[in-house]
Amino acid sequence: MKQLQLIIILVFFTLIHSFAQVHDYSFNNNFSSNNITAPHLVEVLTCGATNGAFVSEQVTTTDGSCSPSSNTFAFNAGNGLQYNNAGFISDTYTIHIFFKFSTYGGSYARVIDFLNSSSDAGVYILGNCLNFYPNGNVGTCPYFVDGNYYLITMVRDGATNQIKIYANGILFSTYDDSGNVYASNAGTTPVLFFRDDNVVGCEVRGGNVRYISLSPTLNTDAEILSVYNNICTGILPIKLNFFSAIKSGNSDVKVQWQTTSEINASHYEVEHSIDGVTFLPVAKLAAVNKQGIQNYEFLDKTASKGLNYYRLKLIETGGKFTYSQIQKVSIAASANGAKIIYSYGPRLSVSPNWINATATLFSTSMQLLSTFKVTNSVQQIHLENFSRGIYFLRLKKENDEITMKILKQ
């Protein structure tokens, strides 16, 4: 018999972990991971079940509904998923499962099994409660409500054999696993989801799963809460492998990136900044929008002399988006010797190379404020009619360009 119920759903937000530390699955019409080095999940049928299906549906949690509809995998009772572990996780891990059962009340329904169906021990849902069989219910009971998705997270510390169980980002219970029932033996035992063994067979239930992730690291309370708080927007169907910006020639910048898992991807925008704070789009590229490795490249021929900052905006068909990390590129001016000095207001001091250059004054939102010619080696910059704050002054002469920051106090 069974009394330790359920589900431990640990879901993730891949961008808070490094690429190598997470095997995560978003069920965008396939069982492949967002991490190209991870094994595919395998659909395993028991108890006379038939194959499941990839569907789009409204995902609802106890805190509201995600919008728009999300891709999920609908599994039938007895239709389980197998993660073929190959030393990735063992006795220390964080596992996220974001799923729902069609109904929660009733007899045992398997959620996760670490012993490859060699015993009845596992995590179940039993009568709207979470059950760690054979040791009983844990946490608030009853807890689960029909129609809702739940994020169940298990964090196991191999040094102490203690498991922390989280429900929807909040610590739900703790469990002493000194018997190693909830560890992957030697890191090679498969981890099974939603599938029951044959000791007391067919304790299964149908439902939908939106996200599963496994990591050999211990997530903090703050990281787990962040996963839940971003559960509607954090599972982006675009996996960014890398993003880089490097100087090309003397004055151009080559921007490159590589992706996998582009289901429901719309397009990419390359954004540029001269101060690392205010970014403006300089290129828009359509997404290939299919599985597999995709490579993209853009050559920025308008980079400024001095520091240039680049980031990539990854945009879904539904409008959700995320940003890459910022890359910094320095472009040297061939005719240096321009600086801003302060003596009774800002003045521009230039070497002879910049005489007759065009100077353009911008706000931080890149609004054009004024334009003037550099006629002397030292001349005043007129800010009398502008409010206090930061401004940018750009000098341009033939093929040379440099941008400087001005602070009006």
Residues sharing a CB contact under 8 Å with residue 18, sequence separation 6 or more, in sequence order: none
Tell me the pairing of strands 358-363 and 368-373: antiparallel
Among 8-22, 39-53, 147-161, 321-335, name the one with the lowest average pLDDT: 8-22
Rg (CA), the chain: 28
pLDDT bucket at 234, cuts 50 / 70 / 90 = low
Residues 74 and 208: beta-carbon distance below 8 Å: yes
Residues 215 and 189: beta-carbon distance below 8 Å: no
DSSP state string for 200-240: TT-----EEEEEEEEESS---HHHHHHHHHTTTTS--S-EE
Residue 39 is classified by DSSP as P
Average pLDDT score over residue span 367-372: 88
Q: Please report the pLDDT score of residue 285 as a whole number.
A: 93
Tell me the pairing of strands 53-57 and 162-167: unpaired
CB 341: neighbour CB atoms within 10 A? 10
In degrees and rounded to multiples of 5, residue 203 shows phi and psi of -90, 80
Q: What is the dihedral of CA 229, 183, 112, 58, to 10 degrees?
A: 20
Among 151-160, 343-352, 370-379, name the one with the lowest average pLDDT: 343-352
The residue among 154, 176, 311 whose CA lies nearest residue 244 is: 311
Average pLDDT score over residue span 295-316: 86
Among 117-121, 144-148, 207-211, 270-274, name the one with the lowest average pLDDT: 117-121
Specify the 3-state DSSP secondary structure of 160: coil
Q: What is the pLDDT of residues 91-100, one digit of tens each?
A: 999 999 999 9
Specify the 3-state DSSP secondary structure of 20: helix
- The C-alpha atoms of residue 9 and residue 13 are separated, in whole angstroms, by 13
Q: Please report the pLDDT score of residue 189 as a whole number.
A: 87
The structure tokens listed for 28 are 């965008």
**Is residue 116 pLDDT above 50, yes or no?**
yes
pLDDT bucket at 379, cuts 50 / 70 / 90 = confident
pLDDT bucket at 15, cuts 50 / 70 / 90 = very low
**Is residue 1 pLDDT above 60, yes or no?**
no
Average pLDDT score over residue span 87-91: 91
- The C-alpha atoms of residue 389 and residue 405 are separated, in whole angstroms, by 10
Residues 173 and 7: beta-carbon distance below 8 Å: no
Residues 237 and 28: beta-carbon distance below 8 Å: yes
The residue among 69, 76, 86, 77 whose CA lies nearest residue 33 is: 86
Choose the most confident range, by mean pLDDT, from 65-69, 107-111, 273-277, 336-340.
107-111
- Entry pTM: 0.59
pLDDT bucket at 263, cuts 50 / 70 / 90 = low
DSSP state string for 67-101: SS-EEEEEE-TTEEEEE--SSS-SSSEEEEEEEEE
Residue 308 is classified by DSSP as E
Q: Please report the pLDDT score of residue 17 as a whole number.
A: 36
Q: What is the pLDDT of residues 318-338, one digit of tens each?
A: 677 778 888 999 887 655 577
Q: Please report the pLDDT score of residue 394 as a whole number.
A: 84
- The C-alpha atoms of residue 143 and residue 126 are separated, in whole angstroms, by 10
pLDDT bucket at 2, cuts 50 / 70 / 90 = very low
Average pLDDT score over residue span 91-120: 91
pLDDT bucket at 10, cuts 50 / 70 / 90 = very low
- The C-alpha atoms of residue 161 and residue 177 are separated, in whole angstroms, by 5
Tell me the pairing of strands 239-248 and 137-138: unpaired
Q: What is the pLDDT of residues 31-65, one digit of tens each?
A: 998 777 889 999 999 888 999 999 999 899 988 88
Q: Please report the pLDDT score of residue 67 as a whole number.
A: 66
Residues 44 and 81: beta-carbon distance below 8 Å: yes
Residues 356 and 375: beta-carbon distance below 8 Å: yes
The structure tokens listed for 305 are 């002399």
- The C-alpha atoms of residue 183 and residue 26 are separated, in whole angstroms, by 23
Q: What is the mean pLDDT of the chain?
A: 84
The residue among 393, 386, 321 whose CA lies nearest residue 357 is: 393
**Is residue 3 pLDDT above 50, yes or no?**
no
394 or 36, greater pLDDT: 394
In degrees and rounded to multiples of 5, residue 208 shows phi and psi of -135, 145
